Amino acid sequence: MKKVICSEKAPGAIGPYSQAIEANGMVFVSGQLPIDAATGEMAEGIEGQARQSLENIKHILEEAGLTMADIVKTTVFLQDMSLFAGMNGVYATYFDGAFPARSAFAVKALPKDALVEIECIAVR
């Protein structure tokens, strides 16, 4: 059985998908763009965008009763690999101790011309 997870503190889906789905004790968080749910605005620069994407993930996980410490896998999509260091510096501040497994790669384009999009899997 699956359960839809939705936080008003994170931007709503811009297509036919859910912010997150929980199934069998695992929470699959859809890719989060760096959009502030309160303003609808996108953060500036890679550091600001990485921070906002991670804050959106944090809010969705909180809605599910989880924290960033429950993340076991992330995938980071970057507009260009030259942005990796800026994203990585912010990313490291969101985890304490054991980092989740991670993949990071550049893609041709991201929705709304974002610099970064981050998705994750968390477990109870």
Structurally, the chain folds into a number of domains equal to 1
10-53 pLDDT per residue, tens: 999 878 999 999 999 999 999 999 999 999 999 999 999 999 99
Structure confidence at residue 15 (pLDDT)? 86
13 vs 83, 102, 117, CA distance in Å? 25, 23, 13
Tokens 């800026």 correspond to 86
Structure confidence at residue 117 (pLDDT)? 98
Domain of 40, CATH number, reads: 3.30.1330.40
Can you give the residue range of the structural domain that contains 61?
A: 2-123
Cα 103 to Cα 21: distance, rounded to the nearest angstrom: 20
Structure confidence at residue 54 (pLDDT)? 98
pTM confidence score? 0.96
**pLDDT at 57 > cutoff 90:** yes
68-115 pLDDT per residue, tens: 999 999 999 999 999 999 999 999 999 998 999 999 999 999 999 999
